[in-house]
Amino acid sequence: ESPADQQTQWTNQLLYLVQKKNNLMTEESDLMIAVQELKLEEQQCQLDEKLRSYMNKEDTLKTAEDEKAEQEILRQLVEVVNKRNVLIQLQEEKRLSEL
């Protein structure tokens, strides 16, 4: 092989490795988003369960602390849903940019 052929081969190998690295970084990013999504989904389920327990309680039996706790759980639930929405938007933007 001539030096020019060898340089072309190395250049092609370098480009292949750079492309592979970029693909792996994209995959890692997707996995990190998926992990965050799963954590938020689990958090949302736990908050839903807590909120249901307060909502199933008769209004006449609820204390001021119960009302305050219910409102706090509702606030946290809205926050989690908003975070999940941001992740979904991020995934959609990534998907569109890859097209």
The rounded percent of the chain whose pLDDT value lies above 70 is: 100
The stretches of the chain forming alpha helices (DSSP H) are: 3-55, 64-98
pLDDT band at 99; cut points 50, 70, 90: confident
**Angle, helices 64-98/3-55, rounded to nearest 10 degrees:** 160
- Model's pTM, two decimal places? 0.77
Q: What is the pLDDT of residues 11-57, one digit of tens each?
A: 999 999 999 999 999 899 999 999 999 999 999 999 999 999 999 99
Q: Where are the domains of the chain?
A: 3-98
